[in-house]
Every structure is written in structure tokens, then in C-alpha cells.
Amino acid sequence: MSISVGQFDRKFTAMAALKPLAAAGKGNVAVLLPDTVTSARYVQFDAPYLTQALTAAGLTSSQFTVQNAQGSDATELSDAQTAITKGATVLIMDPLDAGVGAQIETYAKAHGAAVVDYDRLTLGGSRQYYVSFNNVQVGKIIGQGFQACATDWKLSKPDVLVMKGDPTDNNATLFAQGYLGVLDPLFSAGSYVKAGEPAGTWTPSTALSEFQQNFTAHKNINSVLVPNDANAAPIIHYLQTKGVKAKTFPVTGQDATTIGLQNILAGYQCGTAYKPIYLEAQAAAALAMYLRAGKTPPSTLVNGSTQDTKANTAVPSVLLTPKWVTTANINSTVITDQFVKASQLCVGQYAAACKAAGIS
């Protein structure tokens, strides 16, 4: 039996091919999600998509669980231990941090349960597989999007504050690797100036504080690379209070949030790195079905590897492709995918911009 990354679609049709694995497998699948604060995606998309994928693959509602740790390491560990006690043979886990992730994976290994790292890699962990978007590529398209925007908005000499996500999150490291790969040669050539590079965070209020400190200290800052929409939003609002006009101060993002897309429509954000989560959910569910049945997933599914820098191991991975979303392709990406509804996006002051962009 074989399934490939290219077969996953919005209708989850490929998952039906995994039903023979459901019949052959043993035990339950437990999905462990981290929180509801750093990103609304876990409630809005990951939980329902993973439920849909596992159901379409042939599991009954009594054969899997989907839980959210609500930001608590202790809860995520407890959820994992309870799930294994109740018969989970596979965990799909997005760890709150590498510390609790490694604890869960050690416990799972000792109790004969397999683990799929979902979205975030557990550094120093012992999982069998990892599913995510190619996070270096996510960073690369953010960097390329910034560069295109700086040109389009006619910045003669970009003076860039380079911001990062939380340094404890391996994804943040990979994003930065991607966008610095684009920007560092421009800094070295002298065509761009690096105004600063704060430590990084996924807390929007902290990101705003980091930005304000640098913006106050360096009067020439005229652009900022931000690795996600949630951190970009308060920075954009702050710039607006300072009288900054649309299409004059490039800001980037990731996650295709409603506020991020509205900031793009308004001309305050260059674009956003969009990750179609329905692809990630299907990939994770597919791996779980193979593991539950004691089978090796095919190379058409496991299409890459990711370095666990702490354990110094290469982790077999399913790596998916992100998309850079601007006003030009909002309609053909996030609206078509029903990731965001036009009725939510195109309200009030954004209605005219939606109409101009052909969003319906």
C-alpha cells in the first residue's frame, strides 16, 4: 500500500486508501496539541482536520483522541501518560517545548508507543517521524517576500530590523535560517542595513516591546522582518499611531491570519507565509496509520529528513511546501481553501480592497 504527499487534497480523499491499515492496526491514536494562545490554528484547524483525517482513514471515534494542553507542560505530559495507559499505541504530538516533548517521548518509548512529532521537532527527542512544512523554505519565502516588497514599495536603502520567534522553538531557528539566507548577502553587499536582531519571542506584546526599543534607538529603521502575523499586528498598529503611511514601511508575517491578511490588503504588511494545515494533518494521520499497523511508511510519503541538532540525528520527515500570499493571490489560496472566509476578511474598511483584489 502506498500513499504520496501529492495525493493530499482539500477533500481528504486520499485517506480512504489507508482503511486496510486501520483494520490491521492495534490500539488508539492520541493527538497532543500544545496551546490556544500562540496560534488560533490549533483549535480552528489542526484539531478538526486531524479528526477528519483519522476518521477518513478508517478509525472510529473511540480509537483516537485529540487534546490541547492549554499551555501547560504538566498537562501535556499527563495527557500523554493517560492516553498510553488507555491503550494509545501512537502519539501525534506538537510539544509545547522540547523539554516536555523529550519527556513524553521517553515515556512513550518505555511503554511501547510510537511518536510522530507534529509541526515542531522535539530536540533531543526519540520520535519515529516528523511532519511539518519545510521550515527553512518558510523562512526563505518570507525573506524573498520582504525583498520583493522593499523593491515594490521603493525603499532606496532598506534599514531592516530582523526579528525572530522564540529561541527555544526549533521552527523559529529554521525560519531565521531561511530568511537570513536571503537577507545576509544583501547586508554583506551593503545594499541593505541590518538595524538590529532582537533575541526573539512568540508573545506579541514582547515582540512589540522589542520593536519599540529598537525603533526608538535607531531612527533610520524603515522596515522590519517579522516571522509571524501575530507579532506583526501590534507592530503595525504602533506604526500607524506614529503616522506611517501604507506601502512605505515593509512588514512581513506568517500563518495567514485574518488580521495579517487585512494588514496586507491595507498595504501595511507585504505578505504572509501560508501553510495549508489540511496537508499537514493528513500527512500526520497517514504516518500514524502505518505506525499503528506496524508498517513502514513509503518513500512517497516520507520525502525528506530534518536534523535534530541536540540528538545529532537525522529524523525521517514529511516536509510540505508553504505558499507566499499577497493581495494578488489571497483569493486563489486562503479563500479557496476556506482557511479564511471572505465574509470575515472583507468587513468595514477592507471591503473596497477585497473588491479590488477580486476576493469573493
Top-level class of domain 135-274+324-356: alpha beta
Tell whether the model's pLDDT for residue 30 goes beyond 80: yes
Check residue 360 and give its pLDDT. Answer: 81
Confidence (pTM): 0.86
Q: How far is residue 233's CA from residue 253's CA, in Å, rounded to a whole number?
A: 9
Question: What percent of the chain lies above the pLDDT cut of 90?
Answer: 96
**Residue extents of the structural domains in the chain:** 5-134+276-320, 135-274+324-356
User: Sorting pLDDT into bands at 50, 70 and 90, what band is 31?
Assistant: very high
Residues 161-178 have pLDDT tens digits of 999 999 988 899 999 999
User: Sorting pLDDT into bands at 50, 70 and 90, what band is 77?
Assistant: very high
Check residue 148 and give its pLDDT. Answer: 98
Q: Residues 254, 272: contact at Cβ < 8 Å? A: yes
Residues 50-61 have pLDDT tens digits of 999 999 999 999
5-134+276-320 matches 135-274+324-356 in fold: yes
Q: Residues 165, 227: contact at Cβ < 8 Å? A: yes
Check residue 322 and give its pLDDT. Answer: 96
Domain covering 5-134+276-320, topology: Rossmann fold (3.40.50)
Mean pLDDT score across all residues of the chain: 96
Residues 177-222 have pLDDT tens digits of 999 999 999 999 999 999 999 999 999 999 999 999 999 999 999 9
Check residue 168 and give its pLDDT. Answer: 85
* Sequential DSSP letters for 145-211: HHHHHHHHTT-SS-EEEE----TT-HHHHHHHHHHHHHHHHHHHHTSSEEEE-----S-HHHHHHHH
Q: How far is residue 63's CA from residue 326's CA, in Å, rounded to a whole number?
A: 40
Residues 249-302 have pLDDT tens digits of 999 999 999 999 999 999 999 999 999 999 999 999 999 999 999 999 999 999
Average the pLDDT over 316-328 and give the result. Answer: 97
